[in-house]
Amino acid sequence: MSEPIKPIVDGFGRKHDYLRISLTERCNLRCFYCMPEEGVKLRDKSEFMSAEETIEIAKVFVGLGVKKIRLTGGEPLVKNDAEYIIRELGKLPVELAITTNAVIVHRFIDVFKEAGIHSVNVSLDSLKEERFNDISRRNYFKQIKDNIDLLIENGFHVKINVVVIKDLNEDEIVDFVTWTQKTNLHVRFIEFMPFDGNNWNWDKKVSFKEILAAVGLGLGKDNFIKIEDAPNDTTRNYKLVDGKGTFGIISSVTNPFCDTCNRIRLTADGKIKNCLFSAYETDLLSAFRSNLDIESLIRDAIHKKEKERGGMPEFSHEDVLKHNNRSMITIGG
Ligand code: SAM
Ligand code: SF4
């Protein structure tokens, strides 16, 4: 009989069985809150995980009890070998999911189906074409909207990620929730988070409470209800009383969910980040290339995880400014 798997556990007893792999730092959009205005420094291809390395490292995590893998980036679908990686990871005994900006999703519908992907997260921060194109500094709004429809028509569970920013798109909270009335999708409002090069400021965030208040004011506070949250879910979920879809709020800034965190991040250049907000990284790729034991490195990296928000429980503006972290596009959201 084979030995039971010893799970990856941190110093606070949290079991980690969810791996988010960034496939690339490149992207076909330039969302200002994610990609620094000057872009990201181009590095040699050899500094990043190849398709084979990504797959082999993922297998090690699966052997340590990882049950879910999400592909992200940058834009995961612009990675040259994206199709091959998705198909190979689809053969592993995990729930495979993806977060994409949907610009080229139409080329991947069959690949997703064949790899057993059921749920696709798509980022869309505005329902107004001009505004969306301003935020993303490109002109793909119509293509993205068409691809969201295509995903729904093809039976995928679609979650729309909306980063809510003061004086930018908070006036669209009600429009996004109204979208869930007749359409079976899940809208998730995400508080604006600080990363290098995105000019974050406490004043630009729209809090959990403010988002709920806006829904109540616009649609009536008796017209939506709280629904159950899945275990380890970072989203607090709601639905309109007569809604086909649902909506939720991810409040990493004002109301974090660190106590149930089960996430491990692997960057495109093969570093483990044990928390989105942590500057601490473990170089797994170099160790893998030197045939070293990466299992102990993985366990050690997670064991060192801080209790809350990368060691900034207060999350004051000063803490955040002092803290050296990468830009979101180079971490993988
Ligand atoms: N390119 C894909 C996409 O946009 O969905 C995947 C990568 S993107 C970095 C993953 C998620 O991170 C997106 O939903 C994006 O909106 C979110 N994100 C990026 N920067 C953020 C920030 N500063 N605050 C909150 N969410 C952010
Ligand atoms: Fe690209 Fe996604 Fe970042 Fe926008 S949020 S720049 S689509 S990686």
Residues 298-313 pLDDT 10s: 999 999 999 988 877 7
Nearest residue by C-alpha to atom 4 in ligand 2: 31
Residue 151 is predicted with a pLDDT of 98
Q: How confident is the model at residue 268 (pLDDT cuts 50, 70, 90)?
A: very high
293 alpha carbon to ligand 2 midpoint, in Å? 33
Instruction: Give the Cα separation of 272 and 266 in Å (integer).
Output: 5
pLDDT per residue as tens digits for the range 199-229: 777 788 899 999 999 999 999 999 999 999 9
Q: In angstroms, what is the span from residue 45 Cα to ligand 1's centroid?
A: 23
Evaluate whether residue 176 is within a structural domain. yes
Asked whether residue 322 carries a pLDDT value surpassing 70, the answer given is no
Inter-residue contact 21 to 74 (CB < 8 Å): no
**Ligand 1 contacts CB of residue 126 (under 6 A):** no
pLDDT value of position 227: 97
Q: Give the domain CATH number at 40.
A: 3.20.20.70
At residue 331, the pLDDT reads 79
Rounded to two decimals, the pTM is: 0.95
CB proximity list for 128: less than 8 A, separation 6 or greater: 172
Q: Which two tokens stand for residue 8?
A: 């990856």
pLDDT at 167 over 80: yes
Query: Average of pLDDT values for 241-261?
Result: 90
Residue 175: exposure state from Cβ atoms within 10 A (0-12, 13-18, ≥19): middle
Q: What is the pLDDT of residue 1?
A: 58
What is the Cα–Cα distance from 5 to 240, expressed in whole angstroms?
41
On the question of pLDDT at 236 being above 70, the answer is yes
Q: Is residue 4 included in any domain, yes or no?
A: no
**Confidence category of residue 27, pLDDT binned at 50, 70, 90:** very high
Residues with CB under 6 A from ligand 2: 27, 29-31, 34-35, 73-75, 101, 123, 136, 329
CA 64 to each of CA 21, 57, 68: distance values in angstroms, whole numbers, following the listed order: 16, 11, 12
Q: Does residue 9 lie within any of the structural domains? A: no
The rounded Å distance from CA 93 to ligand 1 centre is 27
Q: Which ligand is nearest to the CA of 31?
A: 2
Distance CA 64, CA 7 (A): 6
Residue 37 confidence (pLDDT): 77
* Mean pLDDT of all residues belonging to the chain: 93
Atom of ligand 1 nearest to the CA of 27: 1
Rounded mean pLDDT, 272-284: 92
Domain that holds residue 28: 16-331
Ligand 1 contacts CB of residue 124 (under 6 A): no
In a domain, 2, yes or no: no
Compute the distance from residue 31 Cα to the ligand 2 centre, in Å: 5
Residue 238 falls inside a structural domain:
yes
Whether residue 120 lies inside any domain: the answer is yes
Query: Three-state secondary structure along the chain?
Result: CCCCCCCEECCCCCEECEEEEECCCCCCCCCCCCCCCCCCCCCCHHHCCCHHHHHHHHHHHHHCCCCEEEEECCCHHHCCCHHHHHHHHCCCCCEEEEEECCCCHHHCHHHHHHCCCCEEEEECCCCCHHHHHHHHCCCCHHHHHHHHHHHHHCCCEEEEEEEEECCCCHHHHHHHHHHHHHCCCEEEEEECCCCCCCCCCHHHECCHHHHHHHHHHHHCCCCEEECCCCCCCCEEEEEECCCCCEEEEECCCCCCCHHHCCEEEECCCCEEECCCCCCCEEEHHHHHHCCCCHHHHHHHHHHCCCCCHHHCCCCCHHHHHHCCCCCHHHHCC
Residue 72: CB within 6 Å of ligand 1? Answer: yes
What distance in angstroms lies between residue 135's CA and the mean position of ligand 2's atoms? 10
Choice between 328 and 121, residue whose per-residue pLDDT is larger? 121
Residue with the larger pLDDT of the pair 246 and 38: 246
Site to probe by mutation for ligand 1, drawn from 188, 195, 328, 330 as the one with most ligand atoms within 8 Å of Cβ, is 328
Could you report the per-residue pLDDT of 127-152, keeping only the tens digit for each? 999 999 999 999 999 999 999 999 99
pLDDT band at 94 (very low <50, low <70, confident <90, very high): very high
Residue 286 has a pLDDT of: 98
**103, 147 contact by CB (below 8 A):** yes
CA geometry: angle 71, 75, 79, nearest 5 deg: 80
Tell me what the mean pLDDT of segment 55-68 comes to. 98
Q: What confidence score (pLDDT) does residue 38 get?
A: 79
Amino acid occupying residue 139: N
**Count of domains in the chain?**
1
